[in-house]
């Protein structure tokens, strides 16, 4: 009783198609597909780690100072 059957989905799709028309509906689906592609591309770009600092001609790498957090400021 709580889920839609295939017939319900077909009727709903037909009503949406009649309301929006074939051209507008396909344009909307194209926009959704472009949005999903750009979202996936953005997520894959975030997964790449930043490059490690390189040592140049015997120089020591720069010191990294930790950023103070709320816990360290309280103490």
pLDDT tens digit at each of 75 positions of the chain: 568 799 998 999 888 888 887 777 778 888 999 999 998 888 777 666 667 777 667 666 667 776 766 665 555
Instruction: Let me know if residue 29 belongs to a domain.
Output: yes
pTM of the model: 0.37
Instruction: Let me know if residue 54 belongs to a domain.
Output: no
Instruction: Let me know if residue 8 belongs to a domain.
Output: no
Q: Residue 35: its pLDDT value, please?
A: 93
**How many structural domains are present in the chain?**
1
- In terms of residue numbers, what domain contains 27? 17-42
Helices 6-20 & 22-46 angle (0-180, nearest 10)? 110
Instruction: Let me know if residue 33 belongs to a domain.
Output: yes
Which residue is associated with the tokens 């001609």? 57
Q: Residue 18: its pLDDT value, please?
A: 85
Instruction: Let me know if residue 48 belongs to a domain.
Output: no
Instruction: Let me know if residue 73 belongs to a domain.
Output: no
Instruction: Let me know if residue 50 belongs to a domain.
Output: no
Pairwise CA distance, residues 16 & 72, whole Å: 57
Q: Residue 16: its pLDDT value, please?
A: 84
Q: Residue 74: its pLDDT value, please?
A: 55
């Amino acid at each position: 009783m709580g889920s839609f059957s295939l017939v319900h989905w077909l009727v709903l799709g037909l009503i949406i198609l009649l309301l929006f028309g074939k051209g507008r509906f396909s344009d909307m689906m194209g926009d959704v597909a472009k949005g999903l592609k750009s979202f996936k591309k953005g997520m894959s770009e975030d997964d790449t780690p930043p490059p490690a600092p390189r040592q140049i001609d015997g120089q020591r790498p720069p010191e990294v100072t930790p950023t103070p957090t709320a816990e360290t400021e309280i103490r």
